[in-house]
Amino acid sequence: MDESKNILEMRNITVTYDDDEDSIPILNKLDFNVEKGKTVLLMGHNGCGKSTLLRTVIGLLKPHKGGEILFDGEPVRKKSLEKRVHLGMTYLSQYGGVFPSLTVKDNLEAANDYDNFWSLFLTKEKKIQHKERMDKVLGTFPTLKDILGKRVHKLSGGQKKLVAFAMRTMLPSKLIMLDEPTAGLDAARAQELMDTMQAVVKESGKTVLIVEHRLNLMQWVDLVAVLREGRIATLETDTSKLDDSDWLKKYYV
């Protein structure tokens, strides 16, 4: 196994939506690394390819011939989405990420042991581990305790987002990818969700790659990566730049 400091390495990756190599690429010979244990904000104007990058990493989109994607040192370009998840990737899209017809508890149970799904099929040892993980997630997300019996489709937008994120933290993930987690929420609910995410991420030490337009909520990240014309235009560790209008005009507007 490669002992690289990077959990993710993308090398010379090109992606178009119609599989025509002559089309204008969304990602254009992109090189991009994410270091282990870091939280990286991927930003750029609408349509620049941020969601495309996440979907390519998880395996929902396939790059053209050439290029490589390494996950924890292992080539994954030709691996299926399912295999990438088993290796430790987790992805949460803007909407969804939950089972709407199930209760909050059932959603958490599904994430708790996704290989078995229901505790009926767990060994005694796994049942103990299962309970410990459930206790831990409810300790981390205490507001979920009061809605465990509710079906997810009856929850508010903020509650659904919280359930979806809690599920991802229960998976044995090495990399959590979040695509605009505050989309559809009002300012107050967005702040609450991001505060929770920040606390959980910092405590867990997990690597996170996040796309988010509410830049005022993102000064806690370790690195800002700006995507422009299908490539990384700049990397910035000074997150105060997110409040710098001149910097934003140069790279974001």
Among the listed residues 45, 42, 46, the one whose alpha carbon sits nearest the alpha carbon of residue 30: 42
Can you give the pLDDT at residue 253? 64
Check residue 69 and give its pLDDT: 98
Which residues face 41 on adjacent strands? 210, 224
pLDDT of residue 40: 98
**Token pair in block for residue 246:** 């001149």
Please report the pLDDT score of residue 65 as a whole number. 77
For residue 79, what is the DSSP state? S
Q: Give tens-digit pLDDT for 91-105.
A: 999 888 899 999 999
Q: What pLDDT is recorded for position 122?
A: 63
Entry pTM: 0.91
Domains assigned to the chain: 1-88+172-253 (3.40.50.300), 95-171 (1.10.8)
Distance CA 81, CA 141 (A): 28
Residues of the chain predicted below pLDDT 70:
1-3, 19-21, 114-122, 253
Long-range contacts at 24-31 (CB < 8 A, ≥ 24 apart): 25/230, 26/52, 26/230, 27/52, 27/53, 27/56, 27/63, 27/230, 27/231, 28/229, 28/230, 28/231, 29/67, 29/230, 29/231, 30/230, 30/231, 30/232, 31/231, 31/232
pLDDT of residue 64: 86
- Residues in the chain, total: 253
Report pLDDT for 121.
59
